[in-house]
Amino acid sequence: MPLTYFKRFRMEFDLYGPLPVADPLPSRYQAVAWRSSLLDLHAEAKYRSFCFELDANVFPCLGEEEGCRRLMHEISSRANFIPDATWLLVHGDGDQDDSCGTVQGIQDGEFTGAIQNLGITPEHRGLGLGTYLLVQALRGFQERGLKHAYLEVTARNTGAVRLYKRLGFYRTKTVYKAAEVSLV
């Protein structure tokens, strides 16, 4: 398989001041705080958010259900995992809830939080749900006393880059991630 380089931006946010404001969740949506019993639902939301996206080429585990489960286990087992910056979004009436969004947070250094895998499933995009989850994660970092947050985003994911800029993130670095991509 040929090696492909994917351009990614590191974007940062200063947690000193007020956080961006997110609209309230639409009806029948609920944000659920981290509990280890929700690991499989986070993995399902992650898989459905990324499996047909460019990032599944950059990080092949995002294109596999078991890969997303392993990734969620690895993130949540880390000593620097921040449960208060980790949220699941569900949609439904209580009888048949659908996990439709996820975000995780970890601490990276003494004063910095790292956003991991913010994802919204395709059928739920365009409703402000990503903004809501991102603000929840930033709030979790701020409540822990962290001063900065960052994330990495694939440059070709222009919708995500626009969202992060609109919310006050700024680009600090460009990195290239090498990945083997099969030609179909």
User: Whole-model pTM above 0.85?
Assistant: yes
Instruction: Using the predicted structure, report yes or no on whether residue 184 has a pLDDT greater than 90.
Output: no
Q: pLDDT digits over 98-135, tens only?
A: 999 999 999 999 999 999 999 999 999 999 999 999 99
Q: pLDDT digits over 152-163, tens only?
A: 999 999 999 999
- Length of the chain, in residues: 184
Question: How much is the pLDDT for 2?
Answer: 81
User: What is Dmax (Cα atoms) for the chain?
Assistant: 48
Q: Provide, rounded to the nearest whole percent, the portion of the chain with pLDDT above 90.
A: 90
- The number of distinct structural domains making up the chain is 1
CATH number of domain containing 155: 3.40.630.30
Vertex 12, ends 153 and 128: CA angle to 5°? 65
Residue 182 burial (C-beta neighbours within 10 Å; 0-12, 13-18, 19+):
exposed
Query: What SS3 string covers the chain?
Result: CCEEEEEEEEEEEECCCCCCCCCCCCCCEEEEECCHHHHHHHHHHHHHHHCCCCHHHHCHHHHCHHHHHHHHHHHHHCCCECHHHCEEEEECCCCCCEEEEEEEEEECCCCEEEEEEEEECHHHCCCCHHHHHHHHHHHHHHHCCCCEEEEEEECCCHHHHHHHHHCCCEEEEEEEEEEECCCC
Confidence of residue 183 (pLDDT cuts 50, 70, 90): low
Side-chain half-sphere of 62: how many Cα atoms within 13 Å?
18
Strand-pairing partners, residue 112, are: 148
Domain that holds residue 12: 3-180
Is 149 within 8 Å of 112 (Cβ atoms)? yes
